[in-house]
């Protein structure tokens, strides 16, 4: 190809070198566009990943529960007859997921699912001395639950351990109760009260969760909440969080349980993420259009400036196709050089963001990196845009009448 | 006899008419039925007042502009009806151009300007072609100026580079549009002498448009164009 396009390469590079200020400006323009696109992609990617990690860090990707109690109509209405009924909704009680012990291995065997954790959850009171706090009681098998939410990584004091009579509490709740690791407090649910020794304090990333979370062994929670042998829900973790919705629908169709994906439980967050993605897409598109127009306008000017030279080349026997390729190559060179420079600028911007923008704890707000494949895609896209931008000027150059061009 | 004649005929024009703005009220006929034959190896001068149609005729001969009606045979092949690719190929294989304002490519050195035609055809320049271009530049008196850009050369030197570029592939015909029109008398005489020498040494045919009667008198044949018609066709005696 080098040999075949040797003439075109030579002429294209010389034309670019001849108008070096013009060339430099448009390369910087392309670089600025590529840098903005790459930086925004990395920034929004990092922000969304951070938001998702924080959100999904305290919950399963799919939650499977027992269906709610509903009042069934005594008799179906006759066809064509509208029955006006008024039904009082039933008060919901804690119910176990039926046959959860059998369901667990079935779920674990599914290829999309990485982990399943049975849980008993309910409400209660934490009591210590005069302190009394309303709490969310979670009964779990520690190892399974740790694989779902990474509990051990959130321990801020003590060691995560759940032997009988032990419990893990949120950091703020510990402050409210005035307990430290090793201290005891009482858990009360209805008529049952149990004493729990704190083995670890955790920071779940959300202060409100820290203020009301108490995690105890599964069996202890079953006793406290009056659900012997039962679990209120199965938390499911997936290999790919974005498959949650589809798998939840599949499970709903297959089993008589209430199955909810994290998207359904966090509809507002998903909407926000979607809006963010759409906005980013629009910004990226507009920037790329500006890049294309920039390259095209410079090449159009170049075609006019180089009119006589194009005429001479055509008179010497240069074909229309060769002239076309000369200008397409110029677009490609500008696109590739601009892309390379743009990616370097984006990396610099990311480094500056990480260095200068920090949270109250002195740490970067969130992890922001430019994945190599994103950088490569943006660079490729800009290079292709360079060639596309050159099409119209190149066609114009190729169509020039040599006699007229020489007279210019 | 006819075959032998065809073999020696380089250009054969018959009834060439050229009009601009065809079909419009401003339609203008510039050439009114030119009949002309040029044999291989001839050195022909084309003279005429401004607006007589010299440049138009040269453009038609150089396959840069189409004729409106008539027949143009180049090396026995009819040019009428050829598409752009066909015309480009004939220009590449058969013709060399020298323009009044040299029209070298400013971004290329003298040597690169001369090697461009080979580069254009083969995509690269062989060592042999490079040496040939160097020899040619030396032959036109530009040894040592190979790596200079056109802007660094005098008008006469630029025109010499343009001549070297026109003959580098040994085309059968070189069309020169007032090659000395932009030069002083001494440089004009040198450039014209160079054209004559290349003609003599290489057997290349030249058709030179000029306003200079003295230079025209040094050609083998003098054509005079007046108001788009061939007014006279004289064989000069040198």
> In the block, which residue shows the tokens 């390379």?
A340
Could you give the CA distance from residue A56 to residue A270 in angstroms, rounded to a whole number? 12
Say if the Cβ atoms of A402 and B64 lie within 8 Å.
Answer: yes
| pLDDT recorded at residue B5 | 52
* Residue B98 and residue B166 in contact, taking contact as beta carbons nearer than 8 Å: yes
| pLDDT recorded at residue A113 | 93
Residue A75 in domain: no
In the listed set A194, A223, A256, which residue is the last one of a domain according to the structure?
A: A256
| pLDDT recorded at residue A292 | 85
Give the pLDDT band of residue B1 (cuts 50, 70, 90).
very low
Say if the Cβ atoms of B120 and A10 lie within 8 Å.
Answer: no
Could you give the CA distance from residue A277 to residue A270 in angstroms, rounded to a whole number? 10
| Prediction ipTM score | 0.87
Same domain for A246 and A279? no
Does the pLDDT value for residue B237 go beyond 70? no
Least confident of A73-77, A215-219, B78-82, B155-159: A73-77
Per the prediction, chain B carries an average pLDDT of: 87
Does the pLDDT value for residue B115 go beyond 90? yes
Nearest to A201 by CA among A246, A154, A243: A154
What integer is the mean pLDDT of B36-42?
A: 90
* Cβ-Cβ contacts under 8 Å, A4 against chain B: 123
What integer is the mean pLDDT of A378-382?
A: 85
Least confident of A70-79, A139-148, A237-246: A70-79
Look up residue A247 and give its two tokens: 């798998």
Residues A176, A178, A179, CA angle at the centre, nearest 5°? 115
In the listed set A224, A256, A288, which residue is the last one of a domain according to the structure?
A: A256
Q: Provide CB contacts within 8 A for A254, sequence distance 6+.
A: none
Residue A36 in domain: yes
Domain with A385 in it: 6-54+270-407
Could you give the CA distance from residue B185 to residue A57 in angstroms, rounded to a whole number? 90
Each domain of chain B, given as residue ranges in start order, spans 41-67+89-235
Tell whether B151 is within 8 A of chain A (Cβ): no
Residue A93 in domain: no
Residue A76 in domain: no
Same domain for A218 and A152? yes
Helix, strand or coil for residue A54?
helix
Taking only the tens place, the pLDDT of each residue in A104-128 is 999 999 999 999 999 999 999 999 9
Å between B95 CA and nearest CA of chain A: 8
Residue A88 in domain: no
Residue A395 in domain: yes
In A384-403, the residues whose Cβ lies within 8 Å of chain B are 401-403
Residue A91 in domain: no
| pLDDT recorded at residue A3 | 53
Say if the Cβ atoms of A406 and B120 lie within 8 Å.
Answer: no
Domain count, chain A: 2
Could you give the CA distance from residue A224 to residue A331 in angstroms, rounded to a whole number? 72
Q: Write out the DSSP string of A337-387.
A: HHHHHHHHHHHHHHHHHHHH-B-TTSSBSS-----HHHHHHHHHHHHHHHH
Same domain for A180 and A133? yes
Same domain for A402 and A301? yes
Same domain for A284 and A246? no
Which helix H or strand E contains B151, and what residues bound it? Answer: none
Residues A35, A41, A44, CA angle at the centre, nearest 5°? 130
Task: List C-alpha distances in Å: A65 to A62, A90, A248, A251.
Answer: 10, 17, 12, 11
Nearest to A393 by CA among A297, A294, A310: A297
Taking only the tens place, the pLDDT of each residue in A258-303 is 999 998 888 888 898 889 889 989 998 898 888 888 888 888 888 8
pLDDT above 90 as % of chain A: 45
Å between B188 CA and nearest CA of chain A: 22
Å between B105 CA and nearest CA of chain A: 6
| pLDDT recorded at residue A231 | 93
Same domain for A117 and A186? yes
* Residue A199 and residue A166 in contact, taking contact as beta carbons nearer than 8 Å: yes
Task: Say which CATH superfamily domain B41-67+89-235 falls into.
Answer: P-loop containing nucleotide triphosphate hydrolases (3.40.50.300)
Mutate to test the interface with B, among A13, A317, A323, A403 (most CBs of B within 10 A): A317
Å between B238 CA and nearest CA of chain A: 32
Same domain for A311 and A249? no
Does the pLDDT value for residue B213 go beyond 90? no
What integer is the mean pLDDT of B214-223?
A: 87
Residue A59 in domain: no
Could you give the CA distance from residue B219 to residue B45 in angstroms, rounded to a whole number? 6
* Cβ-Cβ contacts under 8 Å, A7 against chain B: 116, 119-120, 123
């Amino acid at each position: 190809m080098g040999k075949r396009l040797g003439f075109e390469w030579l002429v294209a590079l010389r034309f670019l070198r001849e108008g070096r200020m013009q060339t430099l400006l448009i390369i910087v323009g392309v670089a600025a566009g590529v840098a903005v696109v790459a930086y925004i992609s990395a920034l929004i990617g990092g922000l969304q990943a951070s938001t998702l990690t924080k959100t999904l860090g305290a919950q399963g990707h799919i939650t499977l529960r027992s269906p709610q109690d509903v009042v069934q109509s005594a008799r179906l209405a006759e066809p064509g007859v509208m029955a006006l009924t008024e039904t009082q909704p039933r008060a919901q009680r804690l119910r176990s997921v039926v046959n959860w012990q059998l369901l667990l291995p079935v779920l674990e065997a599914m290829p999309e699912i990485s982990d399943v954790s049975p849980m008993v959850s309910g409400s209660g009171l934490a009591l210590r001395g005069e302190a009394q706090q309303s709490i969310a009681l979670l009964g779990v098998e520690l190892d399974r639950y740790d694989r779902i939410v990474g509990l051990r990584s959130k321990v801020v004091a003590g060691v995560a351990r759940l032997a009988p009579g032990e419990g893990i509490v949120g950091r703020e709740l510990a402050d409210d109760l005035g307990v430290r690791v090793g201290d005891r407090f009482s858990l009360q649910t209805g008529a049952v009260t149990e004493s729990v020794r704190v083995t670890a304090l955790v920071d779940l990333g959300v202060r409100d969760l820290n203020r009301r979370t108490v995690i105890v062994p599964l069996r202890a929670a079953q006793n406290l909440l009056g659900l012997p042998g039962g679990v209120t829900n199965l938390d499911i973790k997936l290999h790919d969080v974005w498959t949650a919705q589809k798998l939840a629908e599949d499970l709903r169709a297959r089993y008589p349980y209430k199955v909810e994906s994290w998207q359904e439980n966090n509809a507002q967050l998903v909407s926000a993420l979607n809006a963010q993605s759409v906005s980013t897409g629009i910004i990226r598109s507009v920037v790329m259009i500006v890049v294309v127009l920039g390259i095209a306008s410079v090449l159009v000017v170049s075609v006019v400036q180089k009119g006589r030279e194009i005429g001479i080349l055509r008179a010497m026997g240069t074909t229309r196709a060769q002239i076309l390729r000369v200008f397409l190559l110029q677009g490609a060179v500008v696109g590739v050089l601009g892309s390379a420079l743009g990616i370097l600028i984006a990396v610099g911007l990311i480094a500056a963001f990480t260095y200068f923008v920090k949270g109250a704890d002195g740490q970067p707000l969130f992890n922001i990196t430019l994945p190599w494949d994103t950088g490569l895609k943006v660079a490729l896209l800009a290079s292709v845009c360079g060639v596309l931008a050159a099409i119209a000027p190149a066609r114009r150059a190729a169509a020039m009448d040599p006699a007229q061009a020489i007279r210019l | 006899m006819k075959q032998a004649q065809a073999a020696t005929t380089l250009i054969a024009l018959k009834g060439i008419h050229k009009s601009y703005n065809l079909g419009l009220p401003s339609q203008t006929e510039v050439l009114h039925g030119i009949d002309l034959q040029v044999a291989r190896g001839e050195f022909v001068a084309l003279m005429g007042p401004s607006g007589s149609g010299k440049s138009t005729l040269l453009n038609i001969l150089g396959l840069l502009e189409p004729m409106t009606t008539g027949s143009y045979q180049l090396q026995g092949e009819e040019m009428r009806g050829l598409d752009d690719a066909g015309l480009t190929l004939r220009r590449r294989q058969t013709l060399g151009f020298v323009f009044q304002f040299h029209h070298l490519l400013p971004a290329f050195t003298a040597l690169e300007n001369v090697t461009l035609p080979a580069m254009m055809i083969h995509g690269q320049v062989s060592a042999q072609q490079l040496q040939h271009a160097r020899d040619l530049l030396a032959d036109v008196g530009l040894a040592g100026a190979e790596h200079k850009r056109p802007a660094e050369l005098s008008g006469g030197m630029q025109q010499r580079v343009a001549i070297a570029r026109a003959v580098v592939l040994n085309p059968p015909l070189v069309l020169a549009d007032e090659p000395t029109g932009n030069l002083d008398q001494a440089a004009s005489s040198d450039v014209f002498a160079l054209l004559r020498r290349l003609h003599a040494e290489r057997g290349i045919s030249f058709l030179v448009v000029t306003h200079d009667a003295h230079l025209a008198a040094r050609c083998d044949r003098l054509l005079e164009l007046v108001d788009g018609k061939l007014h006279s066709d004289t064989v000069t005696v040198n």
